[in-house]
């Protein structure tokens, strides 16, 4: 049995990384692995540097104690960009060096700005990032395109693709699932107070859009408010996916409501954004509320008709998988792994990032066509169950654990990756490469 230490945020906290950690901890280990968890606290965006350093020193001490106490064979570190990655680099060095230094380490990269993060660093920063990826025994990317990009950054990194997953909300037959979903949706909607009672009485078929995300500019929150203004103003544009150009023309206002749900971010706090909503004249249609977790999130999704995520950058957002499992079509942008998750015209609609007109047109299309919404939502749910189930993630992850522990991770060529990536990386072994920045006494040798 392989003893694994999972280093990542606590499952009850907010964010996709925490959700993935929670899913891994909930997997059935059978007799293959025993997973321990070292929870970490992610820094607030405006937190000073000294508290961050002090907190991470304490985390390193806890990690060293846990590695010895549980006799850990393999450490699985979840990380993303900025300070999180550099802290994870220290975790990797400690895991490799403490108490014998024969431990294997997997670095699991989340988020959609890792490539940008790398190129914005200076020569020393880029060197540390490359060397950390080379020094890890395996690097997990969320999709093949992201694996290719990491391979360009660190040609000798051992990159494996393990997509995010979403648990099923029930175990019934597809027909039973569909009926149960509609019943739950009707019940939950009845318990929600409408955003504007008078407006909903005038427009009983108003389409309910929802966005669940941190309130960051890069998540497209302000783009979504702009698109809502376009819908209320009644301007029609040619959809981004249409080959027929047309000039803007006045159309009737689209009956809709929009709920934006999430913790404060770079776009502002909940109160600040709600103030913007009022100033933009959207108070009767748009509501901004705080973060939700667990059953509260499920209720928000059950009350919605369409999920929207107009991000400027993404990895493989868990919120989209959850929306698809809830039977919702998704309007999203062509960034990160979203084009691999969503078939535009099938599971939802894809538009270009920061294209407010195309976003508004996509929202209009689904708001005015309930039949299309139901068709797309049904296909979205089938897609997430066929391609992004927990069992699939479990099999890939545990297989990777076993191969890494046995020092048998396959080179890129044998994984059927594009030839360009194979040419960049070439073959490798588990021995750290000669140019590694790690001191010789810290290197792990078979």
385-415 pLDDT, tens digit each: 999 999 999 999 999 999 999 875 444 444 3
For the cut 70, the answer to whether the pLDDT of residue 345 exceeds it is: yes
371 and 400 co-located in one domain: no
Residue 189 pLDDT exceeds 90: no
Do 91 and 187 share a structural domain?
Answer: no
- Predicted local distance difference test score (pLDDT) of residue 185: 52
Give 257's pLDDT tier (boundaries 50, 70, 90): very high
Range scoring the smallest mean pLDDT among 150-164, 183-197, 268-282: 183-197
Together in a domain, 125 and 64: yes
Confidence of residue 196 (pLDDT cuts 50, 70, 90): very low
Strand order in the sheet with 330-333: 286-289, 256-261, 207-212, 306-309, 330-333, 348-351
d(CA 423, CA 441): 31
pLDDT of residue 28: 87
Closest CA to 91 of 6, 208, 3: 6
Note the pLDDT of residue 47.
61
Single residue among 387, 403, 422 that ends a domain in this structure: 387
* Last residue of one domain, picked from the residues 356, 372, 387: 387
The band of 235, judged by pLDDT with boundaries at 50, 70 and 90, is low
Domain that holds residue 68: 2-165+390-442
Q: Which of 41-45, 188-192, 281-285, 377-381 has the highest mean pLDDT?
A: 377-381
Check whether residue 153 and residue 260 sit in a common domain. no
Q: How open is the CA angle 119-143-405, to the nearest 5 degrees?
A: 95
Angle between the N-to-C axes of helices 318-325 and 16-25, in degrees from 0 to 180, rounded to the nearest 10:
70
Q: Looking at the structure, do residues 24 and 145 belong to the same domain, yes or no? A: yes
Residue 253, pLDDT score:
66
Per-residue pLDDT, averaged over 213-218, amounts to 93
Q: d(Cα 330, Cα 362) in Å, to the nearest integer? A: 10
Average pLDDT, the chain: 81
Q: Identify whether residues 150 and 108 lie together within a single domain.
A: yes
- Residues 433, 358 share a domain: no
- Work out the percent of the chain whose per-residue pLDDT is above 90: 62
Please tell me the total count of domains within the chain.
2
pLDDT-derived band of residue 304, with 50, 70 and 90 as boundaries? very high
Same domain, 379 and 406: no
Instruction: At 191, list the tokens.
Output: 């318990």
Residue 367: per-residue pLDDT: 95
CATH number for 92: 3.40.50.2000
Same-domain pairing of 242 and 222: yes
Residue 175 in this model has a pLDDT that exceeds 50: no
Residues 229 and 346 in one domain: yes
168 C-beta neighbours (distance < 10 Å), count: 14
**Percent share of the chain, pLDDT over 70:** 76
When comparing pLDDT for 373 and 434, which is higher? 373
Q: Could you tell me if residue 345 is left (phi over 0), alpha (psi between -120 and 50 degrees) or otherwise beta? A: left
pLDDT, position 97: 83
pTM, two decimal places: 0.78
- Mean per-residue pLDDT, 155-160: 96
β-bridge mates for residue 104, sequence order? 74
Grade residue 42 by pLDDT with cuts at 50, 70 and 90: low
Domain boundary among 359, 387, 415: 387
pLDDT score at 182 = 52
Residues 6+ apart with CB under 8 A from 72: 3, 4, 5, 36, 66, 95, 103
| 315 pLDDT above the threshold of 80 | yes
Q: Tell me, yes or no, whether 302 and 232 share the same domain.
A: yes
Q: How many CB atoms sit inside 10 A of residue 177's CB?
A: 19
Same domain, 34 and 116: yes
């Amino acid at each position: 049995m392989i003893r694994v230490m999972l280093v990542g945020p606590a499952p009850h906290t907010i964010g996709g990384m925490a959700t993935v950690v929670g899913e891994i901890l909930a997997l059935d280990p059978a007799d293959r692995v025993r997973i321990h968890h070292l929870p970490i606290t992610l820094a607030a965006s405006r937190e000073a540097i000294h508290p961050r350093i002090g907190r991470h020193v304490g985390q390193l001490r806890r990690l060293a104690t846990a590695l010895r106490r549980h006799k850990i064979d393999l450490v699985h570190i979840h990380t993303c960009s900025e300070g999180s990655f550099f802290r994870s680099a220290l975790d990797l060095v400690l895991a490799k060096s403490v108490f014998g230094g024969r431990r294997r380490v997997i670095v699991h990269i989340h988020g959609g700005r890792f490539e940008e993060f790398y190129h914005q660093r200076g020569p020393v920063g880029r060197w540390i990032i490359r060397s950390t990826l080379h020094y890890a025994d395996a690097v997990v990317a969320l999709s093949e395109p992201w694996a290719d990009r990491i391979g360009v950054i660190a040609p000798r990194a051992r990159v494996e693709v393990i997509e995010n997953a979403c648990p099923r909300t029930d175990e019934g037959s597809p027909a039973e699932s569909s009926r149960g979903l509609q019943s739950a949706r009707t019940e939950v909607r009845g318990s929600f107070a409408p955003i504007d009672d008078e407006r909903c009485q005038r427009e009983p078929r108003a389409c309910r859009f929802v966005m669940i995300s941190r309130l960051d500019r890069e998540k497209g929150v302000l783009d979504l408010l702009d698109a809502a203004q376009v819908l209320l103003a009644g301007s029609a544009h040619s959809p981004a996916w249409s080959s027929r150009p047309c000039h803007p023309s006045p159309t009737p206002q689209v009956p809709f409501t929009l709920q934006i749900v999430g913790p404060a971010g770079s776009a502002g706090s909940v109160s600040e954004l709600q103030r913007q909503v009022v100033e933009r004249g959207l108070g009767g249609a748009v509501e901004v509320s705080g973060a939700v977790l667990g059953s509260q999130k499920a209720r928000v999704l059950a009350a919605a008709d369409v999920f929207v995520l107009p991000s400027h950058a993404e990895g493989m957002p868990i919120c989209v998988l959850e929306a698809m499992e809830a039977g919702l079509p998704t309007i999203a942008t062509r960034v990160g792994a979203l084009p691999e998750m969503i078939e535009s015209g099938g599971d939802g609609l894809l538009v270009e990032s920061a294209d407010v007109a195309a976003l508004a047109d996509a929202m209009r299309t689904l708001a005015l066509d309930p039949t299309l919404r139901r068709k797309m939502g049904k296909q979205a749910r089938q897609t997430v169950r066929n391609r992004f189930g927990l069992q699939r993630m479990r099999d890939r992850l545990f297989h990777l654990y076993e191969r890494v522990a046995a020092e048998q991770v396959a080179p890129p060529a044998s994984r059927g990756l594009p030839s360009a990536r194979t040419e960049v990386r070439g073959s490798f072994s588990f021995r750290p490469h000669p140019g590694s920045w790690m001191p010789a006494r810290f290197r792990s040798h078979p």
